[in-house]
Amino acid sequence: MTTVHGSTIDIPTQDGVADAYLTHPDDGVPHPAVLFYMDAFGLRPHLTKMADRVAAAGYTVLVPNVMYRHGRAPVVELPEFINPAERPEIFQNLRPAMQSLTPEAAMRDAGSYLAWLSASPLTTDGPVGTTGYCMGAGLALRTAGTYPDRVAAIAGFHGAYLASEAPDSPHLLADRITAEVYFGHADQDSAMPPEQIDRLEDALTAAGVVHRTEVYDGAHHGFTQADTAAYDAGAADRHWKALLDLLGRAL
């Protein structure tokens, strides 16, 4: 098993300083970069373990606290095991930070994250991959459409509202994407109903994007997150295979 080195770093952005988790193989050589977008609960031990697993497969992985404008991670206090049904105040406390992260601000930040990765001696010169979870899946999709010359692979899992009827819905960037795309949806996810899954699929197909979308039967929103009540071990294993296969092909 590849040993990895993880650390907390600060990344200057146009709007301030984002704290982030950086992890990479502990071998002293550069590796392809992966921009890893958090779910709403944000940077915490489980998410850094996930990033370490990607790094162990041979990548330099950056996990920014995308809600840094509201404080360093954790932005709100989190229990070791997150069950929103029992702790509804967690989402209530997170909602202002989530709602204030406009697409424009998020993509300004993405430019800073990509520039940092490009300048780092820990990364190779080629394009990056990006993966995202829950709200992060939308950020990954926007990043691939906003910086198509920088992103060669994008994965998103249990993404929320990726193809809504909003005028700034992420799927409307499909015609700008040059990356290979994979989405793993949960069929028990009210934040990504069948009509949005179909709309996203149709947009990617019409744009000629190389892509694959799959619906994980029986899975709920958040199925990859082992420290939450939504975790589904089988679906999470399936996600790992899909993600690492995509990164291996594209990067």
- pLDDT tens digits, residue range 78-87? 999 999 888 9
CA distances from 16 to 9, 87, 119, 121, 181 (A): 14, 31, 19, 23, 31
- pLDDT tens digits, residue range 197-220? 999 999 999 999 999 999 999 999
Distance CA 69, CA 53 (A): 28
Distance CA 20, CA 163 (A): 28
Distance CA 140, CA 95 (A): 20
Domain at 151, CATH number: 3.40.50.1820
- pLDDT tens digits, residue range 95-152? 999 999 999 999 999 999 999 999 999 999 999 999 999 999 999 999 999 999 999 9
39 is catalytic: no
Give the active site residue among 39, 221, 232, 239.
221
Give the active site residue among 24, 39, 46, 134.
134
Give the active site residue among 189, 220, 227, 232.
189
Alpha-helix residue ranges (DSSP H) falling in the chain: 45-56, 89-100, 103-119, 135-146, 194-206, 233-250
**Domains: count for the chain:** 1
5 is catalytic: no
Q: Which domain holds residue 66?
A: 4-250
- Whole-model pTM? 0.98
134 is catalytic: yes
